[in-house]
Amino acid sequence: MNNPKNTNDFPEHIPLFPLSGVLLLPKSRLPLNIFEPRYLKMIEDVLATEHRLIGMIQPRPNKNTQDSNLKFNNVGCAGRLISFTETEDSRYLITLSGVSRFNYVKNVDTFKPYINAEVEWDTFRDDGILETLPKSFNKDAFLEIISKYFTLTNLQTDWVSLKKADDELLINSLSILCPFENDEKQALLEAKTIKERVKILTTLMEMSIKAETTFGPLQ
């Protein structure tokens, strides 16, 4: 299987999986449970391609739920299908490995039951470069905020692994895991740098902690 190294190697058209509240980021992994017939077909088709890319993108609120009328956010993230299991009840359990963000351009007419789209990659040509936080970043203070937020939201994690994680893996994994609103997830996705993403992430967690302190437990 070809493993594209720069945006010039990426396909112009990719299948889209529009899913609200779900975030995929470059160099992170996302497990998915696929059961709708149109997306089962999408997985089968993607497995037959050289790139095995699927574009995760959040739809904007729209009263009409038909795919042909969905309005998407401008930015999504493509993941390479790296694992695939078929269950006895005909579902697919897959894992996507985040490769690069993209700009959604337009839908492409096909005879497929799922959405194919034209996308643009050049804006995010640096997504493959490993980022680190500045030395001034106080990781212990950040982990303390995480601990308070996880207690508030009843989230569980492997703290030993979390403390050992590389900067980008830590920030991206938390961005994916935390139960933020759709627009908040989108803001994390569109952050230009890991420094900007950790600032957004910290602000969102601190706002939730403050709200709980002020107004009582969150529902």
At residue 95, what are phi and psi to the nearest 5 degrees? -130, 130
Place of tokens 């299991």: 85
Q: What is the pLDDT of residue 139?
A: 86
For residue 102, is pLDDT > 60?
yes
Q: What is the mean predicted confidence (pLDDT) over 193-212?
A: 92
Q: Do residue 89 and residue 59 come from a single domain?
A: yes
**pLDDT average, residue stretch 176-201:** 94
Same domain flag for 12 and 67:
yes
Same domain for 85 and 60: yes
**What average pLDDT score do residues 75-86 get?**
96
Tell me phi and psi for residue 25, to 5 degrees.
-125, 155
- The enclosing domain of 98 has a CATH number of 2.30.130.40
Query: Please, are residues 101 and 189 in contact by the beta-carbon 8 Å criterion?
Result: yes
Closest CA to 7 of 72, 74, 103, 82: 103
Measure the CA–CA gap between 34 and 122, rounded to whole angstroms.
Answer: 30
Q: 23 and 106: one domain?
A: yes
- Give the mean model confidence (pLDDT) for residues 66-78: 79
Both 107 and 18 in one domain: the answer is yes
Answer whether residue 63 shows pLDDT above 90: no
Task: Mark whether 76 and 152 lie in a shared domain.
Answer: no
Domain stop point among 62, 95, 124: 124
Show the CA angle centred on residue 8, arms to residues 4 and 14, nearest 5°. 70
pLDDT at residue 162 is higher than 90 = no
Q: In the predicted model, what is the mean pLDDT of the chain?
A: 88
Comparing 110-124, 151-165, 168-182, 183-197, which segment has the lowest mean pLDDT?
151-165
Does the structure show a pLDDT above 80 at 218?
no
Between strands 29-34 and 115-120, the pairing is unpaired
Number of domains in the chain: 2
Q: Is residue 131 part of a domain?
A: no
Decide which of 124, 155, 190 is a domain's last residue: 124
Cα(165)–Cα(162) distance, integer angstroms: 5
Q: Is the pLDDT of residue 168 over 80?
A: yes
Q: Alpha-carbon distance 175 to 202, whole Å? A: 10
Structural domain range at position 44: 7-124
Q: Is 70's pLDDT higher than 80?
A: no
Residue 213: pLDDT over 70: no
The residue behind tokens 């996302």 is 30
Do 16 and 88 fall within a single domain?
yes
Of 98, 124, 150, the position where a domain reaches its end is 124
**Rounded mean pLDDT, 149-176:** 85
Q: What pLDDT was estimated at residue 1?
A: 41
Residue 129: inside a domain, yes or no? no
The reply to whether 145 falls in a domain is yes
Quick one: what percent of the chain has pLDDT higher than 70? 90
